[in-house]
Amino acid sequence: MVSLTKGFQQLFIHGYGFTRKQVRKKTIRWRCAQFKALRCTARATSVNDLAGQVVSINGEHNHEIIGARRRKGDLQQIMAERRAERSAGAKANVVYVQTNRGMRLSINGYLFTPWKAVNKVGIWQCLQSKETGCSVQANTERTKSGKQARISIQGQHNHPPIRDRRKCEKPSIRTYSRTKSKAQTEQQTASAIDVDLT
């Protein structure tokens, strides 16, 4: 563990730097020092006990060891380059769709339903969140001119896009009986279906 000039502590494990994120009693949670610039998801947890300090690492680094400190302004340049890379990739196909159940947002074939609005930001939830447990959210925010919406997506879908609408089919009614004959069972099923259709 190294104390930096600004008073912050940094943990170094195998040459990778970690900054302190959260402190709870004897447990300190750390995240990679490159989490903001390079979106590195590596995390570390240190626990102080009688035997000494125990450190566990979760995730893997998405970058090489960075030994030299960045010059002032380099972080903004790196983040601008990463934003340009993401936006230069495949452009998202965004369409607002009006359905019988209200407005839907379609992004690359995935449908989102409005969930809530916070400070002029509309938060949309994946339509398959209940069926598949998908936790992806889309945020829409109008620009100052009000003409365009800035859309950001958080998370990754755990299911393929739904291409066809699900059709509501009436379930077939089956009657199981050990004492009735097959003809009586078919007659009962037919009458139940007739009643269901009218």
Determine, yes or no, domain membership for 179: no
pLDDT at 125: 93
Task: Report CA Rg, the chain.
Answer: 28
pLDDT in tens, 130-172: 888 888 898 888 767 766 577 888 888 888 887 666 555 544 4
Q: In what order do the strands lie in the sheet with 2-3?
A: 2-3, 9-13, 16-24, 27-32, 43-49, 52-58
Q: Provide the residue range defining the domain that includes 21.
A: 2-67
What DSSP assignment string belongs to 68-121?
SPPPTTHHHHHHHHHHHHHHHSSPP-EEEEEETTEEEEEETTEEEEEEEEETTE
Last residue of a domain, one of 154, 177, 193: 154
Determine, yes or no, domain membership for 82: no
Determine, yes or no, domain membership for 58: yes
pLDDT in tens, 32-84: 888 877 788 899 888 877 666 778 888 888 888 877 666 766 767 777 776 66
Last residue of a domain, one of 17, 49, 67: 67
Closest Cα to residue 161, out of 192, 134, 193?
134
Determine, yes or no, domain membership for 192: no
Domain count, the chain: 2
CA–CA gap between residue 86 and residue 9 (Å, rounded): 32
Average pLDDT over residues 100-112: 87
- Identify the CATH number of the domain in which residue 26 sits: 2.20.25.240
- The encoded tokens of residue 78 equal 């790196």
DSSP 162: -
Determine, yes or no, domain membership for 81: no
pLDDT at 91: 63
pLDDT at 165: 60
CA–CA gap between residue 159 and residue 135 (Å, rounded): 11
Question: Is residue 52 located within the same domain as residue 104?
Answer: no
Determine, yes or no, domain membership for 107: yes
Is it the case that residue 106 has pLDDT exceeding 60?
yes
CA–CA gap between residue 36 and residue 151 (Å, rounded): 20
Determine, yes or no, domain membership for 26: yes
pLDDT at 60: 86
Closest Cα to residue 166, out of 137, 198, 129, 128?
128
Query: What pLDDT band is residue 89 in, cutting at 50, 70 and 90?
Result: low
Single pTM value for the model: 0.41
Question: Is residue 101 located within the same domain as residue 58?
Answer: no
pLDDT at 190: 36
Determine, yes or no, domain membership for 119: yes
pLDDT in tens, 178-196: 444 555 444 433 333 333 3
